[in-house]
Structure 1
Amino acid sequence: MYYGYKESIDDSVMKYLPELKETIWEATTIRHLLTHTHGLNQKEEVVFREYPPGQNWTYRQVGIDALTQIVKKTTSRTVSDIIQEQVFRPLGFSESNWYAHKHEKHADVILRHEEDGNWKTSESTEGDKMNMYVSARELAYWGYLHLKQGKVDGKQVVSKEIIKLATSLQSPLTLHEDLPQNGFLWFVKDLPAKQSEIGAEVPKGSYQILGYTGVTLLVIPQENLVAVRMFNSFGSPEGYDYLSDVRSFGDTVMNCLQRISIDV
């Protein structure tokens, strides 16, 4: 599956990373990593289990790290190499990449306090750390690529089947119905879910992805629409309701569409 490098997203993670500790990673699948339901966390260099795989939802970097390791081990290439060759170059992207060192054109990240230990950049450009940059224009175009199911200007840049899988519900059936729902890392709007990160006014079939600094990309196929908001602030200030805020983005977009329809 996926160019023959992996057989199934329900494969065990240990099938590809047998060096991992079996008592911790046992029963964890690629699906669990892709949907943030793996139940693992990491403190310093120690990985530990918070809950059984598929039983809850939490975003933890340890899951992303495992995914990037699997990609590198099965393809002998990094995430950034693959995306550069198969997406960025065909689309002519020049404002998106991973950086090893800060550049004058990169906006500074605003931290809650000067030495916020939760923000850690890296010299790695393999696609596994918090040092990717993107412009609003190219982030919107990334959403447009998905909206058009991988086909842009008459060319199938990314397989239609992969886009459909990535943006449709892939969360395990064992997950509680009120928890966030995911495709391949994308949040998806499927069944009503109290903890969904997509606004209540946004129609079913929409999907959304977020960045470390509050960046949000929302795709609404029903309206043939892509919406982007850009932030460069990391961490939540006291009293900030993250879930309410990110939902309000989609709801605001939908309210604007309704006003346009009324005015017309």
Structure 2
Amino acid sequence: MKEIEHRAEELISWVEEIKDKNGSSAGALYILKDNHVVVEHYSGRHSHEEDARIVQADSQFNVASARKSYLGLAVSFTLYDKYIESLDDPISVYMPELDAEIVMDTTIRHLATHSHGLHIDEKGQWYREFKAGTGWAYRNIGVEILTELIQRLYGKGFPQLLEERIFSRIGLKETGWRTEPDANLVNIIVEVTEPSLSGLGTTNDGTEKNLFVSAREFALWGQLHLQKGRMKGEQIVPSQVIELSTSIQNVAYHDESLPDNGLFWYVQGEARPRSEMGERVPRESYQILGVTGPTLLVIPSLNIVVAKMYNKRYNYGGEDYLHYLREFSNKVADLFTDSKQM
């Protein structure tokens, strides 16, 4: 046990080193193993201001693109609730106003796995980078389309849908699309020498990047998935909804370096060079992250959930970001694989 505690301290030291190296003012690491908290670490302040609030358990970080895991679950609900017939339905069936030529053969599956091939130019015009299903590119246009799709199908934004079906039922109070200042909200650092940003939005309907989550509730979101939708002795989310979201949903690519995806989650099948997860992370693991540094990693075979939080945009820096993400996930896998063997 002492060896495991020592290795966990090494992981915390790594998190702190990256925080300081890249200019985050805040950091957190929260790990659940067998549904028990085994690591809970907080450091820094909500901004670089001297009087900024110290990071605590109730500090809520802007998770940026990690919000896509929440949208992905809402997309999975649309199939379970029979609002759509299949992930392979063309998006034009539900949104006929879209340019038929540009979105030709683009399906809901393509949009949720970053394989749609759509992009937007500097003038705001849509264009096609590659034929849908033949490649992979991380573009937010798919998120925007599916956010609108949920609104149309349910008559409400996906945050409200999740609040009604999940958040309120498992008691999430530190998770939400924030529009008003609050002492618990961690600011976003763009450049260390510049004033920090609030990260607040103007609406809570999911169309903006204003989802704030505490490290402990981010981990609970991962735990909900790990436990196939069962929490507190109750089946909160149908297991098939979780399984659809967190299993590989993209078609096989000719380029074997491209990452596999569930519904926005990165999913580990064969280890992929361009995946966010390292080669030592077990199969069927899945992960999501945001540009401000938050990472949620779920490793079912080891029964662990890892929530790592930062507050600096482009926290991992330029072309090296994949290296740091893969290094961290490999360290986690090594730590808990070793503990399993002891």
TM-score, structure 1 normalization: 0.92
Query: Equivalent pairs: percent with the same residue?
Result: 37
Q: Does 1:16 align with 2:75?
A: no
Structure-2 separation of matches of 1:207 and 1:78: 25
SS at match of 2:298: strand
The 2-side partners of 1:115 and 1:5 are apart by: 44
Partners of 1:101 and 1:49 in 2: CA distance: 37
AA aligned opposite 1:37: S
Q: Quote how far apart the aligned CAs of 1:61 are.
A: 1.1
Pairing of 1:188-227 with structure 2 (within 5 A): 188-227=267-306
Farther-moved stretch of structure 1 (191-200 vs 66-75): 191-200
Q: How far off its partner does 1:219 sit?
A: 0.6
Distance 1:194 1:42 in 2: 26
Segment drifting more, 121-130 vs 156-165:
121-130
RMSD: 2.2
Q: How many Å separate the matches in 1 of 2:316 and 2:329? A: 22
Greater mean alpha carbon deviation, residues 37-46 or residues 203-212? 37-46
Residue 47 of structure 1 deviates from its aligned partner by: 1.6
What is the aligned partner in structure 2 of residue 38 from structure 1? 116
Corresponding residue for residue 128 of structure 1: 207
Stretch deviating more after TM superposition (46-55 or 178-187): 46-55
Alignment-derived partner of residue 140 in structure 2:
61
CA gap 1:213/1:91 in 2 versus in 1, 3 angstroms: same
1:34 offset after TM fit, Å?
A: 0.6
Q: Which residue, out of 247, 258, 261, partners 1:179?
A: 258
Deviation, structure 1 residue 211:
2.1
Could you say which residue in structure 1 is the equivalent of 2:12?
A: none
For normalisation by structure 2, the TM-score amounts to: 0.72
Alignment of 1:86-105 (within 5 A): 86-105=165-184
**Inter-CA distance 115–52: structure 2 relative to 1 (3 Å threshold):** farther
Matching residue of 2:84: 6
The answer as to whether partners of 1:38 and 1:63 remain within 8 angstroms in 2 is yes
**Gaps spanning 5+ residues in structure 1: where?**
none
Following superposition, the deviation at residue 83 of structure 1 comes to: 0.8
Matching residue's letter, 2:276: E
1:6-51 Cα shifts (integer Å, max 9, x gaps)? 1110011111111111121111110011101111112453222111
After the TM superposition, list the runs of 4 or more consecutive aligned residues in structure 1 that deviate by more than 6 angstroms: none
| Structure 2 spans left out of the alignment, 5+ residues | 1-78
CA offset digits 1:64-85 (Å, max 9, x no partner): 0000111111111111110111
Distance 1:249 1:124, change over 3 A: same
Q: How far apart are 1:115 and its partner, in Å?
A: 8.7
Give the equivalent residue in structure 2 for 1:26: 104
**1:177 Cα offset (Å):** 2.4
Matched residues in 1 for 2:254 and 2:214: separation? 34
| Count of equivalent residues | 262
Structure 1 residue 121: Cα displacement: 5.8
